[in-house]
């Protein structure tokens, strides 16, 4: 089968006739199943001898519906991965999207998808938003050939149900070191925090605001109460968050690619590592330590953590995915 025939069925139910024809064409009896555990909303079918993996998602989760509905929809066909071959996975032998070939160099691949150049985000891979899906092309280390092509329908953003005022950057940084009951911390949040959230700061060292502000607050213990020591600002859908809409340091934007990140912060990071899925970098500044996690699949920033100065310790060989 050819890639265009496969991605044409994106958005259709897993049991639709066109999707069934894909499975038949690939010669497999495998079918996706809804996890049904209330925590996972995807399933994948890897067909090793054909070099292809098909992804499916719960329709309510994909649409960004109210959380209580996640897992109660139907499975939709939403992703396809075409492999050049690795381990016991054979190379995909059909035609690839946009006339790409696994023997294409990075330069050749970019030329073939040049019509979507304005959408390109790059780093270790190249990503374009093409008609109907996001296309990611991953290369070998030298960029002389293609290892994998991913075609993925993006999930709708999770909507916030409230109108909020987000703290500005300076307010967040200046509140580091203050306890939760201090005016400096309390006035950060236009919508007052609940007593259960204050208890979470004391008992768990965190307050989860991913459903409102798109942030996670981190605290250290002290004799005076929990001390505000760090804040994680999430992209929409990261940790199932509504996404932080306030200002970010160094004019960063969650739509920035890793290339843009390292262009905006020219200072070399004190720690930097990449995996096939994510990467991270850490910088120390006078008023805070900055930790940025980014996606090597979407080539976008995922989360930005601001940490009180002097509290970060670099740890080697940690997977931050």
pLDDT at 20 over 90: yes
DSSP per-residue letters across 25-38? HHT---------SS
Q: What confidence score (pLDDT) does residue 296 get?
A: 96
Strand order in the sheet with 289-295: 206-209, 215-220, 227-234, 301-307, 289-295, 278-284, 271-274
Nearest 10 degrees: CA dihedral of 254, 259, 264, 270? Answer: 100
**Burial bucket for residue 112 (CB in 10 Å: 0-12, 13-18, 19+):** middle
User: At 128, phi and psi to the nearest 5?
Assistant: -130, 145
Of the candidates 24, 20, 150, 23, which has an alpha carbon nearest to the alpha carbon of residue 82?
Answer: 150
What residue spans define the domains of the chain? 3-152, 169-307
Of 93 and 39, the one with more pLDDT: 93
**Burial bucket for residue 237 (CB in 10 Å: 0-12, 13-18, 19+):** middle
Q: How many CB atoms lie within 10 A of CB 283?
A: 19
**Burial bucket for residue 113 (CB in 10 Å: 0-12, 13-18, 19+):** buried
pLDDT at 319 over 50: no
Q: What is the mean pLDDT of the chain?
A: 93
Residue 294 Cα to chain centre, angstroms: 7
pLDDT at 294 over 90: yes
Q: How confident is the model at residue 313 (pLDDT cuts 50, 70, 90)?
A: low
Of 120 and 223, the one with more pLDDT: 120
Provide the whole-model pTM.
0.92
Report, as an integer, the average pLDDT of 83-105.
95
The beta-carbon contacts of 135-142 under 8 Å, at least 24 apart in sequence, are: 135/97, 135/98, 136/297, 136/298, 136/299, 137/100, 137/109, 137/113, 138/276, 139/105, 139/106, 139/109
Strand 133-139, strand 146-152: pairing: antiparallel
- Residues 162 and 277 sit within 8 Å (Cβ to Cβ): no
Q: What confidence score (pLDDT) does residue 314 get?
A: 57
Report, as an integer, the average pLDDT of 151-176.
91
| Sign of the torsion angle spanned by Cα atoms 54, 235, 134, 85 | negative
DSSP per-residue letters across 195-261? HHHHHHHHHHSEEEETTTTSEEEEEE--TTS-EEEEEEEEPTTGGG-----S--GGG--TT--HHHH
Q: How confident is the model at residue 39 (pLDDT cuts 50, 70, 90)?
A: confident
Report, as an integer, the average pLDDT of 12-31.
95
Residue 265 structure tokens:
């912060």
Q: What is the distance between the alpha carbons of residues 83 and 94, in angstroms, rounded to a whole number?
A: 11
**Burial bucket for residue 164 (CB in 10 Å: 0-12, 13-18, 19+):** middle
Alpha carbon distances (Å) from 70 to 14, 15, 64, 74: 17, 19, 8, 10
Report, as an integer, the average pLDDT of 191-219.
94
């Amino acid at each position: 089968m050819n890639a265009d025939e496969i991605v044409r069925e994106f958005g259709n139910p897993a049991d639709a006739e066109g999707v069934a024809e894909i499975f038949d064409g690939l010669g497999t009896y495998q079918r996706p199943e809804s996890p049904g555990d209330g925590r996972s909303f995807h399933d994948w079918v890897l067909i090793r001898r054909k070099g292809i993996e098909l992804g499916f998602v719960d329709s309510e989760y994909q649409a960004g519906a109210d959380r209580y509905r996640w897992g109660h929809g139907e499975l939709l066909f939403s992703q396809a991965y075409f492999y050049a071959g690795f381990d016991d996975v054979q190379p995909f032998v059909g035609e690839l999207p946009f006339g790409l070939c696994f023997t294409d160099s990075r330069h050749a691949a970019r030329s073939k998808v040049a019509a979507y150049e304005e959408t390109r985000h790059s780093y270790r891979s190249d990503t374009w938003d093409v008609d109907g899906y996001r296309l990611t092309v991953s290369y070998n280390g030298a960029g002389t050939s293609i290892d994998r092509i991913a075609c993925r329908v993006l999930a709708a953003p999770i909507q916030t149900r409230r109108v909020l005022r987000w703290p500005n950057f300076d307010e967040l940084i200046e509140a580091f070191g203050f306890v939760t009951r201090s005016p400096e911390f309390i006035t950060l949040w236009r919508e007052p925090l609940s007593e259960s959230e204050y208890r979470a700061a004391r008992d768990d060292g965190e307050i989860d605001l991913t459903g409102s502000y798109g942030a996670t607050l981190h605290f250290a213990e002290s004799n005076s109460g929990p001390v505000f020591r760090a804040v994680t600002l999430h992209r929409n859908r990261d940790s199932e968050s509504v996404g932080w809409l306030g200002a970010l340091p160094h004019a960063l934007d969650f739509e920035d690619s890793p290339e843009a990140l390292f262009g905006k912060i020219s200072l070399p990071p004190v720690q930097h590592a990449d995996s096939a899925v994510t990467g991270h970098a850490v910088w120390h500044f006078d008023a805070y330590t900055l930790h940025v996690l980014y996606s090597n699949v979407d080539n976008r920033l995922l989360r930005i953590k601001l940490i009180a100065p002097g509290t970060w310790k670099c740890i080697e060989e940690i997977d931050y995915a």
